[in-house]
Amino acid sequence: MTNTQQPEEQPTPPPSRFRRSVQPKLMKLANVPMRQVLALPVPTPLGSRLMLAHIVGRRTGKHYRQPISYVRDGDVLLTPGGGKWKLNLDPATPVRLRIRGHDHTASPELVRDQAEVTRLLAVMSAANPALQRFVPLPKDPDGNPDQKALAQAIRYGFCIVRWHLEEPAAA
Q: What is the pLDDT of residues 17-31, one digit of tens each?
A: 555 566 566 666 667
Q: Mean pLDDT check: name the lowest of 2-11, 54-63, 112-121.
A: 2-11
- Residue 32's identity, in one-letter code, is V
Give the three-class secondary structure for 22.
helix
Collect all residues with Cβ–Cβ distance below 8 Å to 15 and sequence separation of at least 6.
Answer: 136
Q: How many angstroms separate the CA atoms of 159 and 77, rounded?
A: 14
Position 12 pLDDT exceeds 60: no
Full-model pTM = 0.78
How many Cβ atoms from other residues are within 10 Å of residue 40's Cβ?
14
